[in-house]
Chains A and B, each alone.
Chain A
Amino acid sequence: DIQMTQSPSSLSASVGDRVTITCRASQSISTYLSWYQKKPGKAPKLLIYTASTLQSGVPSRFSGSGSGTDFTLTINSLQPEDSAAYYCQHSYISPHTFGQGTKLEIK
């Protein structure tokens, strides 16, 4: 199975900051990677798919990059509503595992 490792596990940043979350796959997954935002009590929200394609309706301050084994999710100009957990997930081959998540706190 392909393992997905995110870093950091948690971070704290201020409104207006730029934050980067990384996701590393245990083997090459090309660009078969999605990013999700998860808030308590809410369903996950798709932010990015195929590593860098912004899902319709998602603010442009979110961006994704990477291919192969290393990927990043970048949030520019952090907003209070960005406080959430963020997960990467691959779809290269079953099982389509998630990373362990990154909890983002807004100071």
Chain B
Amino acid sequence: EVQLLQSGGGLVQPGGSLRLSCVASGFTFSRHAMTWVRQAPGKGLEWVSDISGPGATTSYADSVKGRFTISRDNSKNTLYLQMNSLRAEDTAVYYCAKDRDLIPMAQGDYWGQGTLVTVSS
């Protein structure tokens, strides 16, 4: 059974940092691209970042470029999102998702449970 277990959310002050983790099981992690998507309160879905299966290729939304870093440790079946210089507008529920393919194709067939990140003083 495919599972994605997220951790690392919480309350952080503006300008602070947080690292989200997503531990995968039930599939060959290195053979699938992974994605982070967020949803701010009362808003729609926003694609944040994705990474290829081997980890060689990454992409970012303009809204987080230069502040967020996606990475993965295929030996630990774990996806990360390092979030620095956090702003109030980064407040959202963050989801990790497994892509159907090795390269990011925006085909998230399994998703984590979501983790709330709140940026506030």
Give the interface of A toward B (CB within 8 A). 1, 32, 34, 36, 38, 43-46, 49-50, 55, 85, 87, 89-91, 94-101
Write out the residue numbers on chain A whose beta carbons fall within 8 Å of the beta carbon of B37. 44, 98
Contact call A36/B62, Cβ cutoff below 8 A:
no
Give the interface of B toward A (CB within 8 A). 35, 37, 39, 44-47, 50, 59-62, 95, 97, 100, 104-109, 111-114
Contact call A38/B45, Cβ cutoff below 8 A:
yes
Closest-by-CB residue of B relative to A102 is B44
Least CB distance, B23 to chain A, in whole angstroms: 15
Write out the residue numbers on chain B whose beta carbons fall within 8 Å of the beta carbon of A38. 39, 45
Least CB distance, A40 to chain B, in whole angstroms: 10
Write out the residue numbers on chain A whose beta carbons fall within 8 Å of the beta carbon of B100. 49
Closest-by-CB residue of A relative to B37 is A44
Among B39, B104, B111, point to the contact of A91 (Cβ < 8 A).
Answer: B104
Closest-by-CB residue of B relative to A85 is B44
Among B45, B46, B113, point to the contact of A36 (Cβ < 8 A).
Answer: B45
* Residue among B104, B107, B114 with most chain A CB within 10 A: B107
Contact call A55/B45, Cβ cutoff below 8 A:
no
- Can you add 14 more A-B contacts, CB < 8 Å, to A1-B62, A46-B107, A96-B104? A34-B107, A43-B113, A44-B37, A44-B95, A46-B109, A49-B107, A85-B44, A91-B104, A91-B106, A91-B107, A94-B50, A96-B59, A98-B45, A101-B44
Contact call A91/B45, Cβ cutoff below 8 A:
no
Least CB distance, A103 to chain B, in whole angstroms: 10
Assembly CA distance A84 to B73 (angstroms): 34
**Which 8 pairs show the lowest CB-CB distances between chains A and B?**
A91-B106, A43-B111, A94-B59, A101-B44, A49-B107, A96-B106, A98-B45, A89-B106
